[in-house]
Amino acid sequence: MDNAIRSKSNPIMRPIDITPSIPGMEIECLLNPGVFQFENKKWLLLRVAERPVQEPGKISFPIFNAEGFVEVLSFNEDDQDLDASDARIIKYKGKDYLTTLSHLRLVCSDDGEKFYEPEGYKPIIGKGILESFGIEDCRVATRADGFHLTYTMVSPYAVAVGYIFTKDWKSIERKGMMFPPHNKDCALFEESINGKYYALHRPSSPELGGNYIWIAESPDGLHWGNHKLLATTRKGMWDSARLGAGAAPIRTEKGWLEIYHGATEEHRYCLGLLLLDLDDPSIVVARSNKPIMEPIAKYEQEGFFGNVVFTNGHIVDGDKVSMYYGASDEVICKADFSIAELLKTLEN
Amino acid sequence: MDNAIRSKSNPIMRPIDITPSIPGMEIECLLNPGVFQFENKKWLLLRVAERPVQEPGKISFPIFNAEGFVEVLSFNEDDQDLDASDARIIKYKGKDYLTTLSHLRLVCSDDGEKFYEPEGYKPIIGKGILESFGIEDCRVATRADGFHLTYTMVSPYAVAVGYIFTKDWKSIERKGMMFPPHNKDCALFEESINGKYYALHRPSSPELGGNYIWIAESPDGLHWGNHKLLATTRKGMWDSARLGAGAAPIRTEKGWLEIYHGATEEHRYCLGLLLLDLDDPSIVVARSNKPIMEPIAKYEQEGFFGNVVFTNGHIVDGDKVSMYYGASDEVICKADFSIAELLKTLEN
């Protein structure tokens, strides 16, 4: 048992519920949506991972070419130079490719459980050489001036954090790379603290260091500095190999409450809590020893990449957090938490 | 033959020329100085790498402890858990340590070749948990308001870029972490372009990507964004495995001229050129196919870590660049270049 109250409708969205972005592609996975409210509806910004319909004996995967069009690379399954042992990555002649190409898709809902694709909204697709392997895991921070999107830019050159701003979801403003590689899991705070923007982010080190959560500050949301280490991995625990922020921290009277993911060396992904000082969020007030949510439902244990619960979006209504999450890197689910109960798990 | 006119006095400084910072330590290496002019003298900000005087049968190395004091860790040479096969890194039970601890030391000179330690100036020493393995390879950018130091912060948690400001070298102002891990080789431009600060930097990726030079911009020198990829490694060439900026780019009529280092998989370090657009330095106008300088002198081929020429400091006087560099990660050397001749190497 954990602290999550899972929706009885889980999974609330599956790959079959969405149409591929172009003919000849199939949707392998729906992943980790950004979440927001807009025009009296609840919205998800889904990560949609597609690949070409596979032919027998072949392994095919998509990339954006220099002109911005999807191009399919295809190899024989028994090619000696091919290593397809990981469901997510293909290695060919020492180079890494992704098995799927991700873009972002908008769906909306009246009740927060039955989502549909509304007319008149375009998907958000990778653009330029730094997004030629797609864009992934977009957080949506709702601030007074509009929606601030932070997402993972993926290419052969870098895995890094991109930034998009929109007011109306009809036109978007691309604001470039916010954090240089290797970086992902960037969650913006939805209000300024002492006049500064804050962001949680997750740089990774090839040597000396690891996959830790850091915090940075900014005068304008575009330029970032004064990076501080917030939380490291913990040997032998549920967050021993890597951890990263989820959605925007939630303001509570005890501090900023952040639901984050942690994973073990075996790639088992759970969720836990960080509580940050209200006035100076670089100070960690408390941290979960045990996860608040573990992959225990069948749809969380079996799928494209099993034993994963991963979140980067929620809606807060009073004491209730309605959290949307990716399960087994394949389907979208929903679970509710009580903020009071979450805070209680952090006592001691 | 290369384009460098080496000083006949090379090496101009050796470890024996400097006294250890505390008793019981010995200086292993002098490395990669930042360079500036101040009070009618030429100054180097040396990286000084120290380790405990080694006892027979033991391997000892220093770290800063949480209280900011140097603590010595010591192991038996034949300890099965110890891997000391790299001169720079010790692995013990899966953890990485450095064989030496680096700090920064000021020396000055009238003629630019005979340097001495002046009285009244303190070394710059690592501070806090993010510098517990020391500080390294400091660039000094001279701007109208004073001296801007960008250096490598090293700890078990991160390799990243730190920022210090000083006007008088007597008191320094620590301005925190400028670029998050994994990052080093940060060179600030010495003047603003269209009202913006610019910096070259070198993030590294554990997957998808490499050790490439990027450029970022800032409104204030403290907060950075809009990161763009400037130059990648080139297979089969002298900069096939990694590359990184040297000192501040030099303004020429053809563009910003940057002397950068590149290394092969065999860790042979050479120097080459990037020429960047004067008005928009994220545009590469030209790049060296062949190095302008290679490790060909004996002191560049043999030492603590041989086959290395590495620079992050110079003084420009008209057409002449007086470049200071680390040779074989052990001694400090000087070489001159003609800017006109360097620009000529970039013509096809």
Residue B86 pLDDT: 83
- Greater model confidence, A269 or A23: A269
- pLDDT the model gives residue A336: 98
Per-residue pLDDT tens over the stretch B126-183: 999 999 999 999 999 999 999 999 999 999 999 999 999 999 999 999 999 999 999 9
Q: Tell me, what's the pLDDT at B88?
A: 82
pLDDT confidence bin for A71, thresholds 50/70/90: confident
Contact A219 B223 (CB under 8 A): yes
Model pLDDT, residue B85: 85
Q: Are B320 and B40 in contact (CB under 8 A)?
A: no
| Chain B, window 250-279: residues with a beta carbon less than 8 angstroms from a chain A beta carbon | none
| pLDDT band at residue B65 under the 50/70/90 scheme | confident
B297 phi, psi to nearest 5 deg: -75, 155
* Lowest-pLDDT choice from A84-98, B45-59, B128-142: A84-98
For residue A338, the model assigns a pLDDT of 98
CB within 8 Å: A226 and B176 = yes
Q: How many structural domains comprise chain B?
A: 1
pLDDT surpasses 90 at A307: yes
Judge whether A213 and A245 are in contact, CB under 8 Å. yes
Residue A251: what pLDDT? 98
Whole-number pLDDT of residue A177: 98
Residue B5 burial (10 A CB sphere; 0-12, 13-18, 19+): middle
Instruction: Specify the CATH number for the domain of residue A340.
Output: 2.115.10.20
> Rounded to whole angstroms, how far apart are CA atoms B228 and B224?
12
pLDDT at position A67 over 90: no
Over the stretch A192-230, which tens digit does the pLDDT of each residue have?
999 999 999 999 988 889 999 999 999 999 999 999 999
Query: Looking at chain B from residue 122 to 141, which residues have their Cβ under 8 Å from any Cβ of chain A?
Result: 129-130, 133
**Exposed, middle or buried by CB within 10 Å (0-12, 13-18, 19+), for B175?**
middle
Q: How far apart are CA A127 and CA A139, in angstroms?
A: 18
Contacting A residues, span 164-193, partner chain B, CB-CB under 8 Å? 175-183
> pLDDT band at A70, cuts 50/70/90?
confident
Nearest one of A214, A221, A167, A213 to A189, comparing CA atoms: A221
> In this model, does residue A1 exceed pLDDT 90?
no
Write the pLDDT tens digit of every residue in B84-98.
888 888 888 878 888
Find the CB nearest B157 among A96, A222, A232. Answer: A232
Distance CA B115, CA A27 (A): 66
The shortest CB-CB distance from A226 to any of B156, B177, B232 is to B177
Q: Which residue of B has its CA nearest to A218?
A: B223
Comparing A66-80, A119-133, B195-209, which segment has the lowest mean pLDDT? A66-80
Burial of B264 (0-12, 13-18, 19+ CB in 10 A): middle
State the nearest Cα–Cα gap between A307 and chain B, in angstroms.
Answer: 22
How many helices (H) and strands (E) are present in chain B, helices listed first? 2, 25
pLDDT given at position B339: 98
pLDDT band for position B260 (50/70/90)?
very high
Residue A53 one-letter amino acid: V
pLDDT at B119: 95
**Residue A181 to residue B160, Cβ atoms within 8 A:** no
Percentage of residues in chain B having pLDDT higher than 70: 100
Q: How far, in Å, CA of A315 to CA of A41, rounded?
A: 11
Which pLDDT value is given to residue B149?
98
Q: Is the pLDDT of residue B67 over 80?
A: no
pLDDT band at A28 (very low <50, low <70, confident <90, very high): very high
What distance in Å separates residue B109's CA from the closest CA in chain A?
35
Looking at chain B, the whole-number percentage of residues with pLDDT higher than 90 is 85
Host domain of residue B263? 5-345
State the amino acid at position A248 in one-letter form.
A
Average pLDDT, chain B: 95
Q: What is the ipTM of this complex?
A: 0.95
Q: Which residue has the higher pLDDT, B203 or A78?
A: B203
Chain B, 192 to 221: residues with Cβ < 8 Å from chain A are 201, 203-210, 212, 214, 216-220
Chain A, 68-107: which have a CB under 8 Å from a chain B CB?
A: 96
Sequence-ordered strand ranges (E) for B68-145: 70-76, 82-83, 89-92, 95-98, 101-109, 135-143
Rounded Cα–Cα distance for residues A91 and A12 (Å) = 33
pLDDT at A34 over 90: yes
Minimal Cβ distance to B157: which of A154, A175, A229: A229
- State the average pLDDT over residues B235-249: 98
Per-residue confidence (pLDDT) for residue B87, from 0 to 100: 80
